Amino acid sequence: MDVDVFDTDYKMTARGRGKLYEVDHDSLSQADIERVMQKDVDHIKGVLDVDGDSASILLRHFNWNKEKLLEKYMDNATAVNEAAGLALPERSPQPGRSPRPQSTGPTRTTRRSTAESSKSGKTKAILERISPPVEEPQSFVCGICFDDSQTKYLALSCEHRFCTECWNAYITSKVRTEAEQWITCMADGCSLVASNLFVQQCLKKHPKTWERFQELLVRHFVSSNHSLKYCPYPSCTYTVSCPSAASKSSLTSMVPIVTCGASASHKFCFGCAIDNDHRPVVCGVAKLWMQKCQDDSETANWIKSNTKECSKCQSTIEKNGGCNHMTCKKCKYEFCWVCMGPWSEHGTAWYSCNRYDEKASVDARDAQSKSRASLERYLHYYNRWANHEQSAKLSVELYAKTEKKMEEMQMTSDLTWIEVQFMKKAVDEVSKCRTTLKWTYAMAYYLDSGNQKELFEDNQRDLERAVEELSELIEQPLDPEVVPTLRQKVTDKTVYVQKRNEIVLEDTAKGFLEGRWQWNQSVEGFD
């Protein structure tokens, strides 16, 4: 979808400071997104003269691409309605039960409600199962649960009738188990789609599932739009809009770390799912590094042996059974699990995927000996990287210790609570800088040697030295005599560390914008 379309929709927050390593972004609640969706629906409703539910289905079918929808719709409305599951195809297999409703143009989904059937005096369905369809509306046996005591049934405009219980169980299974917002009729081969109103009626007694369905609609909308991302924190329903990081190419010159509106701790990278903050390195390098680090871990092994990435949309896919003809759940790309090539090519030449590839194995052996030689180099960076990560993790412990220390200080000296806050500030700064330091090692590992790398490592060394000094200061045993001097020292050092951290982040960010950094191997997105 076009980025500029959304620029007009969202108010951009101007960040006064304008630091190079920070990115402009906006946080939107689920209700905000629903409003944007409604705006699109209303637009389509007006232009195509259809009801809101049909407009929603049409938009979802076209992944919220209004232009494409309008173009195709103007071209052939009947075909679009059929493809989107709004109308039955002209020659579709019909159940013998009822005459097919006319289907020209967008059809409204009709609903047979209980109220209707009880009004006309249909109280109890006849008990026998009638195999040839008899036009006897009272004798309703649901074809799914075979419960003949059911009198309440529902059907989409295709008139495939099923009892309300089954509809409910079916939609619940789709929504809860499959996380699917595209719900088709239960009949075999029927592709008619349930409207939002229909889903809502079925889930009347299950507000939680209905809520989840609405969330899935929002998620589908968000995933269709490159300038939007769903907050990855568990059960958070906020969305972040960051148009400047929407394109893949932008990720080579910036690290879009954003925060959603729910909490300041909901910090994540807009460009990847590697770490919630991997500044100063860009996503491509961070990804390379993480892959390298996790090569030996059990999780990585599991992911490596059980999943593959869709070669089109890069979603991680686990194959849990069935044949090698895979269809990506997200982008519907069809490919072969063995060779990862498009399935369309397998019609005649699929046998090439189980052929033993000699060349690949020779390459693999070469790479192995090379990697052994570079192992030492890697370990140098890895040990430092892991050390900072470990130290950053220990910051929780440090917090507790510091709190105790702050209480102690209030008792032993005449400092007030507000005056001992310098300790907390120092701890915060240390853990923040350790995250930066951690990733500078990943960066340095991939930087091509030369002047630029030396300058980078100088900055890194200055920050590291300062952080270690501050760290030592706040961990040393407390002597009531020296508290005032300690306070002075810690405050000074904190300011200094903060400054050094900013220098590293700012200079690296600037380097990315200028294209100053050269890598010692090919990195995704860079030439």
Provide the binding-site residues for another protein, judged by CB under 8 A.
143-147, 162, 165-166, 169-170, 172-174, 177, 186-190, 321-325, 327, 338, 346-348, 350-351, 353-354
Which residue number, 63 or 172, has a Cβ lying nearer to another protein?
Answer: 172
200, burial (CB in 10 Å: exposed 0-12, middle 13-18, buried 19+) = middle
Instruction: Give CA 98 to chain center in angstroms.
Output: 44
Which residue number, 57 or 183, has a Cβ lying nearer to another protein?
Answer: 183
Q: Is residue 43 within 8 Å of residue 66, measured between CB atoms?
A: yes
**Shortest separation between residue 173's beta carbon and another protein, angstroms:** 4
**Shortest separation between residue 172's beta carbon and another protein, angstroms:** 8
**Closest by CA position to 421, among listed 434, 405, 397:** 405
**Closest by CA position to 264, among listed 241, 291, 236, 285:** 236
**Shortest separation between residue 187's beta carbon and another protein, angstroms:** 6
**Shortest separation between residue 322's beta carbon and another protein, angstroms:** 6
Which residue number, 348 or 368, has a Cβ lying nearer to another protein?
Answer: 348
376, burial (CB in 10 Å: exposed 0-12, middle 13-18, buried 19+) = exposed
Find the DSSP H helices in 229-328.
Answer: 283-294, 298-306
What one-character DSSP code corresponds to residue 183? -
What does 463-516 look like in DSSP terms, one character per residue?
HHHHHHHHHHHHHSPP-GGGHHHHHHHHHHHHHHHHHHHHHHHHHHHHHHHHT-
Which residue number, 263 or 306, has a Cβ lying nearer to another protein?
Answer: 306
d(Cα 157, Cα 91) in Å, to the nearest integer? Answer: 15
d(Cα 425, Cα 390) in Å, to the nearest integer? Answer: 20
Q: Is residue 258 within 8 Å of residue 240, measured between CB atoms?
A: yes
What is the token pair recorded at 62?
A: 């076209």
Which residue number, 262 or 339, has a Cβ lying nearer to another protein?
Answer: 339
**Shortest separation between residue 321's beta carbon and another protein, angstroms:** 7
Which residue number, 188 or 527, has a Cβ lying nearer to another protein?
Answer: 188
d(Cα 438, Cα 473) in Å, to the nearest integer? Answer: 21
What does 417-442 look like in DSSP terms, one character per residue?
TGGGHHHHHHHHHHHHHHHHHHHHHH
Which residue number, 125 or 283, has a Cβ lying nearer to another protein?
Answer: 125
Q: Residues 55-80, buried b or exposed e (16+ Cβ, 10 A)?
A: bbbbbbbbebbbeebbebbeeebeeb
d(Cα 2, Cα 67) in Å, to the nearest integer? Answer: 10
Give the sign of the dihedral formed by CA 200, CA 202, CA 208, CA 209. Answer: negative
Q: Is residue 429 within 8 Å of residue 497, measured between CB atoms?
A: yes
d(Cα 197, Cα 202) in Å, to the nearest integer? Answer: 9
**Shortest separation between residue 368's beta carbon and another protein, angstroms:** 19
d(Cα 86, Cα 53) in Å, to the nearest integer? Answer: 10
Q: Is residue 430 within 8 Å of residue 395, measured between CB atoms?
A: yes
What is the token pair recorded at 476?
A: 């040393």
Q: Is residue 285 within 8 Å of residue 292, measured between CB atoms?
A: no
* Measured distance between the N- and C-terminal CA atoms of the chain, rounded to whole angstroms: 26
d(Cα 250, Cα 282) in Å, to the nearest integer? Answer: 10
Q: Which residues are catalytic?
A: 323
Which residue number, 49 or 357, has a Cβ lying nearer to another protein?
Answer: 357
Which residue number, 354 or 521, has a Cβ lying nearer to another protein?
Answer: 354
Which residue number, 353 or 415, has a Cβ lying nearer to another protein?
Answer: 353
